[in-house]
Amino acid sequence: MPHALAYGAQSATTPLARLTIERREPGPHDVRIDIVNCGVCHSDLHTARGEWAGTKYPSVPGHEIVGLVSAVGAQVSKFKVGDRVGVGCMVDSCRECESCREGLEQYCEKGNIGTYNAPDKHLGGHTFGGYSTQIVVDENYVLRLADNLPFDAAAPLLCAGITLWSPLRHWQAGPGKKVGVVGLGGLGHMGVKLARALGARVVMFTTSPGKAADAERLGAHEVVVSTDKAQMAAHRRSFDLIVNTVSATHELDDYMALLKRDGTQVLLGVPPTPYPPINVGRMIGTRLAIAASTIGGIEETQEMLDFCAEHGIVSDIEVIPMAKINEAYERMLKGDVKYRFVIDMATLKAEGAAA
Ligand code: NAP
Ligand code: ZN
Ligand code: ZN
């Protein structure tokens, strides 16, 4: 069985360290990808540290994967060796249920197969993600990267990008709509860029006053420091849509108050602890909705990548060597990242060669 180098956690309390994992030989429908970069999502941290129930160890995170196809199975028709490709948060789904047939594999009724921490039907055990030199994936769950998308800055599109694109499209962010984006991190900064490119009026909500100038540079028409009650009150009942990317629990009511009649707040962040209760009286008073959304289907992920290639949209990144991943997690927790860490996988190959 072929092996690959990876970084993973052996338990919720141990730092990530180098390990060797198995990757299957490409089957008839599989492509093998030599990973060039992998983005660092807050979900990686939640998972590696066991903040959500059910982490399987060793845990090898990473679902913002980009690289080059290095082998293809006999029946692969969409990709050839040398193609520039990406893999996001899923590597399989049932392909038969209503959601899969509608191209919404992320909502597969049998559960989509996550790129990491999901049952591995090929090798047994669980799937290992993109903090690794290689991955083998069914061609139907592989995305194509246009030539003008740089590997490193495009990597975060595979999770952060699609996680914002899908709800922005579903709730029709566009001209004439006022859209709020809460939390200026990996997801939030893609939300600002995409909502702006879709033609909406965009307001960024941040707890970090120091990020205000950046938010405008990224495309926000206005920035609100959410801890400032007067700034918040100035936007009462004015939003069509608010997409909330915050990774920790907080008062959702503060944002419900900013929605106009028929407005929707979409939850994208998945804090490990519950949110405080929501004021239903306010919700019925203006027919408000609270919703949630996860990543996006394969077809819409390709649509988002092509939109980004056409509009020159990529992530703002800080490239790190694999060995700095634990430090990067600590900095992410402090909000000290502008605005996505991306691992240079050549550094992991070099570690392996030196070992
Ligand atoms: P991130 O880069 O760490 O950004 C999160 C942002 O939330 C921070 O930059 C900060 O923004 C804000 N924040 C953090 N703690 C806060 C607190 N206590 N109160 C208020 N604001 C706070 O994380 P990310 O990678 O964007 O991920 C965000 C969340 O989305 C995570 O929970 C992740 O698991 C989840 N996620 C969900 C999906 C999905 O499919 N739905 C996909 C990917 C990730 P400011 O400094 O601007 O306030
Ligand atoms: Zn993610
Ligand atoms: Zn399905």
pLDDT in tens, 161-205: 999 999 999 999 999 999 999 999 999 999 999 999 999 999 999
Q: Report how far ligand 1's centroid is from the alpha carbon of 211 (Å).
A: 14
Provide the mean pLDDT of the chain.
97
Q: How confident is the model at residue 38 (pLDDT cuts 50, 70, 90)?
A: very high
Percent of the chain with pLDDT over 70: 100
Instruction: Measure the CA–CA gap between 191 and 72, rounded to whole angstroms.
Output: 34
Q: Report how far ligand 1's centroid is from the alpha carbon of 185 (Å).
A: 6
For position 353, what pLDDT does the model report?
87
For position 2, what pLDDT does the model report?
85
Which ligand has the shortest distance to the CA of 110?
A: 3
Choose one of 245, 254, 293, 342 to mutate for the ligand 1 pocket test, by most ligand atoms within 8 angstroms of C-beta.
245
Q: Report how far ligand 2's centroid is from the alpha carbon of 340 (Å).
A: 11
Average pLDDT score over residue span 4-10? 98
For position 246, what pLDDT does the model report?
97
Q: Does pLDDT of 54 surpass 80?
A: yes
For position 127, what pLDDT does the model report?
98
* C-beta 250 within 6 A of ligand 1: yes
Write the residue with the smallest CA distance to atom 2 of ligand 1.
185
Write the residue with the smallest CA distance to atom 10 of ligand 1.
183
Which ligand has the shortest distance to the CA of 191?
A: 1
Whether 309 and 282 have beta carbons less than 8 Å apart is answered as: no
Tokens of residue 121, six digits: 């039907």
Write the residue with the smallest CA distance to atom 46 of ligand 1.
208
Q: Does pLDDT of 1 surpass 80?
A: no
Instruction: Measure the CA–CA gap between 319 and 5, rounded to whole angstroms.
Output: 19
Q: Could you report the per-residue pLDDT of 209-246, keeping only the tens digit for each?
A: 999 999 999 999 999 999 999 999 999 999 999 999 99
Q: Which numbered atom of ligand 1 lies nearest the CA of 292?
A: 41
Instruction: Measure the CA–CA gap between 112 and 31, rounded to whole angstroms.
Output: 19
Choose one of 165, 247, 293 to mutate for the ligand 1 pocket test, by most ligand atoms within 8 angstroms of C-beta.
247
- Provide the edge-to-edge strand list for the sheet that holds 289-292: 222-225, 201-206, 178-182, 239-244, 259-267, 289-292
For position 215, what pLDDT does the model report?
96
Q: Does pLDDT of 355 surpass 90?
A: no
